[in-house]
Amino acid sequence: MKRILVYLLVIIAFFIVGAIMANFVIMPMLVHRGREVIVPNVCNMSLENATKELEDRGLEGLVSERRYDQIIEQGYIIIQEPLPDEKVKSGRIIHLTVSLGPQVIKVPFLTGVNIDKGELILKKLGFKIEKIEYVNSDTITRGEIIRTIPEPDIELTKGDAIELIVSKGPILMMPDLTGKTQQDYEILLNKMGLILGEVKEVEGSGVKGSVIVQNPAPEEVVEPGDTVTLMVIK
């Protein structure tokens, strides 16, 4: 009889302890876990501070992506998911995208590259072309890049501007066409990239069709595409 009474007392004690545990430990944990919290805004915060801020709200920060960003400083939060001010259950994982800072890119070596191809290369790398300057060159073919500003191998960030210096070819001097006939002067002008404009026939002595007056004058500096007008003997 005494043994049965002991068993009953032990069972009652287990029930009492169980009720206390359920009431003061288990239930508060379940209630706390199930409660809703508002997601704080951790964008533009350092990863360390963002993680602490989330922990203080009963949330867990998880880095799901790291990527380059031209604006957000390295190690700071770019994006969070769920977004700020959303209501979520306590204990929810907040996915964080962390900045690697601006992407650093070296200026490529483009000397001798055609301007169209050079522009394409720079744009694919993420650079902006701020200015293109054309200058004469005896060594670099017309339409090819002479140099870049900044120089090759200089480290820039994506979106930075680059200036291009492009060749116009060698300085062209207008040849003396006096006395030349149509076949001769047309061949010469085509070779220099000059355009034959008005050809006016005038009275004069000499071979018919030969040049007596020209514009531009001999030894004048010209550019490919310039127009040449002539007076020839009628």
CA–CA separation, 232 and 180 (whole Å): 9
Mean pLDDT of the chain: 89
pLDDT of residue 194: 95
For domain 172-233, give the CATH number: 3.30.10.20
Per-residue pLDDT tens over the stretch 139-198: 999 999 999 999 999 999 988 999 999 999 999 999 999 999 999 999 999 999 999 999
Task: Give 72-98 pLDDT, tens digit per residue.
Answer: 999 999 999 999 999 999 999 999 999
The pair of three-digit structure tokens given for residue 143, joined into one six-digit string: 């339409």
Name the fold adopted by 104-167: Trypsin Inhibitor V; Chain A (3.30.10)
Q: pTM of this prediction?
A: 0.57
Using DSSP, state whether 204 is helix, strand or coil.
Answer: coil
- Same fold yes or no, 37-101 and 104-167: yes
Per-residue pLDDT, 95:
97
| 90-138 pLDDT per residue, tens | 999 999 999 999 889 999 999 999 999 999 999 999 999 999 999 999 9
How many Cβ atoms are within 10 Å of 48's Cβ, its own excluded?
10
CATH number given to 37-101: 3.30.10.20
* Torsion angle (degrees, nearest 10) of CA 31, 36, 38, 43: 80
Domain boundaries, the chain: 37-101, 104-167, 172-233
Of 94, 73, 98, 71, give the one whose Cα is nearest residue 84: 94
Distance separating alpha carbons of residues 78 and 83, to the nearest angstrom: 12
